[in-house]
Chains A and B, each alone.
Chain A
Amino acid sequence: MVIILVLSVLGLNAQDHAGKPVPTYVTGDECLFCHRVKVVDTWQQNPHARTIWPNEKGEEFIGSKLARPLRKAGYGKFDILAADKKTWDKEKFANRCAGCHATAVDPETKAFATTALDCYACHGVADPNHTKDATLMRFSSKYPKNAREIVSVCGSCHLRGGKSHSSGLPYPNNFVPGDDLFHDFEVDLAQADNEKLNAGDRHVFANVRDVLKNGSSSTCLSCHAIHTDSSAKHKRVLTSAICQNCHNAEGPKSAVKKYEVHSALCEY
């Protein structure tokens, strides 16, 4: 296996928060006070909003399908019910899950600021002047597109199998959108060619590699509309080799290869 550590050649801002305190940011409920008309209705149903989700009794679970029960254990801490469904594991959530199922994990305490993914997880620290100038808001429609920045944000969770160089944890160390993810987060981009890997994960690696190594401007956002949880845009993309991650080389495009996702880290 070839581990590729891509250093800060991304053309992003020089900011890097690995090991540093979580910056102050505007919380989602404050964002939604203004953005509720366009955002709220779809966001509540979005898988990104449901990485931790309560059942009708208010008990919290990991994943939108309520896969594993969680139990609050102090500020920014969860115990997670072990696979035996009897014992509560006090370390696993912080050491494995928090980085991608919660928001703003403190590097020192591994305590998260809020459950599931807050606006900050993708949009970063909001510039207070973004209300007057939308170009200041990361990933707004007017924000200048930077392919490497986009795959950094998406890849911070979707590059499954990566590892923080500084913390050793399987999720980035206090990654803040705008940071160079790959400065500290080690990923094996050769996974893009691993036929044994499921098509979904392989697709992510292939796309990130195309951006980082080949200068591609096609990113996750070229095809995926995050807030509306739609991939309809991908039908407009020209056919290329990457399509065959999911589609057959021949035959109707509507036919999609079936695949299963398994993860030792996530225990499924």
Chain B
Amino acid sequence: MWIRKFERDRNKGVTSPVPTQMLSTEEFIPRPQNERQKHVEHLIGEMSEQKAKKLAMDRRKFMGTSMGLATCFSAMNTVYGKAFDVDEAETMEEDAIAEKWPKGEYFVMDVQSHFTNGIPIGLRGDIGKMEFFKNMGFTLKEDKESYSFHNFVKEMFFDSETDMIVISGVPGKEQQRDKEGKVLEGAARTPFFGILPSWLMAQAREEINALAQSKRAISQGNLAPNHYWDKTTNKPDKAATIEQMERELNLYKISSWKWYCHTDPGQSGGGFQCDDDNAQWFIDESRKRGMKFFSVHKGYSYQSRLLGHLANPKDIEKAALNNPDVTWVIYHSALQHGSNEPDWKAANQYDPTTGDFAWHNILMDIKKRNPKMTNVYPEIGSFFGPLVIADPVMAMHGIGKNVKYYGADHVIWGTDCLWWGSPQWVIDAFKRFQISDEMCEKFGYKKLSKEDKAMIFGQNAARLYKIDLKAKRNPLPADALTRLKTAYMERGPNPTNGAYGWVRADD
């Protein structure tokens, strides 16, 4: 039986800013809390009670502080062995934390962030009702506002240390013309459905950057080789694809494509692979127009009805080798299934003796076979976070292998928020995360240095997206949320004049 998270919290009187069991984004089915996770949760409750009492604080208030977060990591160390760098003093003194983990120490660039087009898509409601979601330190409501751009800005920029975001695409295509052949604009381009269409990502980017008076956001484009299809020839409708490509590059000013090979919004009759002829044609046309950056969702395949097998990263090898000038960022590090799925061990999805994960190992093998290939980058959104909650040892394997085979200069930070709420707990976890001596010795992993973390947190993505790390990035003004809210209320959740708004900004 599922109960709402807030009901569970209220009943049990527990709060933790770090999830104490596996959560689901929208991309996998959660598994029940295991014994060790229960132990962690128990310890967090016990330790926080004691510490709050000593500090004469309400326990719930204590858990909302950085000391509460430190307490969570301390409890996880007790259960799993030392996976996080946390001193006892940090659980009782905020100054100790501020001194040890100064804000701004890392440039954080999140390449996987999402919101929706004012659509409450059910994810947070589904997640929030599940038992696995209990004991988190924040509430994920299921309503239009929770998925909104307004809440997105709040959670990414006000509730976390994220410096820059890449607004990342989701499956879907734009309708180019109406029945009379008139070119559509803005929301009219997604009349049937549009969770996060390219036009909206671009508009949101412009709004954020305008508010900050500096570059805090960039955006991707959803176009893929199977979005516009000539059903007579059973091949891509090249004219329509080029038209959309030029629109997304020139008008939307996207910074990367975002591909979902295992979806078919154009009703082409199938998905595609990054190394097939149609993809190569797309790459060539994109290259001609100066865009050589491809972000590809791999892994988390089974949201696809029939095409999940196309989320296997095996096609990346040929695509990367044939296109050495193209950058390939592989989202989720190609993790096939979340570690929370009930049968993932039975299905040999994770081998604890080797630390291999299904499909992630394929991505690793590609690099092993091609040590000189330097244009593939594993991204760790909904990879590091879920693994570190499931079992920090899994996270040691996941991050350890990414760094071992691809190098710390090739691992890209992403969180998949706001499905997860604010990304701050993932940021804090990674700051403190370390691979144990035993694991390094046994599996040949490398201890993560601050320099490694700096690269992963943001320097790598900044290099790929050509972001000037020295450029001044202004904080969003204090009234940004009010201004966004006002604009949102004035405009409505699905603005018919949305495209005009952002076109004016570009001008």
Contacts and interface: CB of A to CB of B under 8 A. Distances in A.
Given A29-B263, A36-B302, A37-B122, 20 more contacts: A24-B175, A27-B265, A27-B267, A29-B264, A29-B303, A29-B305, A33-B303, A34-B123, A37-B126, A37-B127, A40-B29, A49-B305, A75-B269, A76-B231, A76-B269, A112-B269, A114-B269, A114-B306, A128-B193, A131-B120
B267 A74 contact: no
Contacts of B269: 75-76, 112-115
Contacts of B327: none
A30 B265 contact: yes
B8 interface: no
Q: Which 7 A-B pairs have the closest CB atoms?
A: A75-B234, A34-B121, A29-B263, A36-B303, A28-B305, A37-B126, A113-B267
Interface of B: 24, 26-27, 29, 119-123, 126-127, 144, 170-172, 175, 191-193, 195, 229, 231-234, 260, 262-265, 267-269, 302-307, 309
15 contacts: A26-B192, A26-B193, A29-B304, A33-B170, A33-B195, A34-B26, A37-B122, A37-B123, A38-B122, A54-B306, A75-B229, A75-B268, A115-B269, A116-B305, A126-B193
A32 interface: yes
B346 to A, nearest CB: 15
Contacts of A125: 192
A24 B176 CA distance: 13
A44 interface: yes
Contacts, number: 108
A33 B171 contact: yes
Interface in A3-58: 24-30, 32-38, 40-41, 43-44, 49, 54, 58
Q: Which residue, A36, A43, A109, has most C-beta atoms of chain B within 10 A?
A: A36
A132 interface: yes
Given A36-B26, A75-B231, A131 B119 contact: yes
Given A118-B305, A128-B191, A132-B144, A38 B264 contact: no
A199 interface: no
Contacts of A54: 306
Interface residues of A, number: 39
A134 B231 CA distance: 33
A75 B26 CA distance: 31
Nearest to A34: B121
Contacts of B193: 26, 30, 126, 128
Q: Which residue, B24, B127, B195, B264, has most C-beta atoms of chain A within 10 A?
A: B264
A111 interface: yes
Interface of A: 24-30, 32-38, 40-41, 43-44, 49, 54, 58, 74-76, 104, 109, 111-116, 118-119, 125-126, 128, 131-132
Nearest to B27: A36
B315 to A, nearest CB: 13
A30 B172 contact: yes
Contact of B24 (A37, A58, A118): A37
A53 to B, nearest CB: 8
B309 A111 contact: no
B267 A58 contact: no
B9 to A, nearest CB: 21
Contact of A29 (B171, B191, B232): B171
A41 B24 CA distance: 13
A37 B133 CA distance: 14
Contacts of B260: 29
A76 B232 CA distance: 10
A25 B175 CA distance: 12
Given A29-B303, A34-B123, A37-B126, A128 B264 contact: no
A122 B7 CA distance: 36
A131 B171 CA distance: 17
A102 to B, nearest CB: 10
A40 B303 contact: yes
Contacts of A118: 305
A32 to B, nearest CB: 5
Contact of A33 (B26, B127, B192): B26
Contacts of A114: 264, 267, 269, 306
B192 A126 contact: yes
Contacts of A41: 29, 302
B302 A40 contact: yes
Contacts of B26: 33-34, 36-37
A37 B29 contact: yes
A75 B266 CA distance: 13
A17 to B, nearest CB: 16
A112 B306 CA distance: 15
Q: Which residue, B263, B264, B305, has most C-beta atoms of chain A within 10 A?
A: B305
Contacts of A26: 192-193
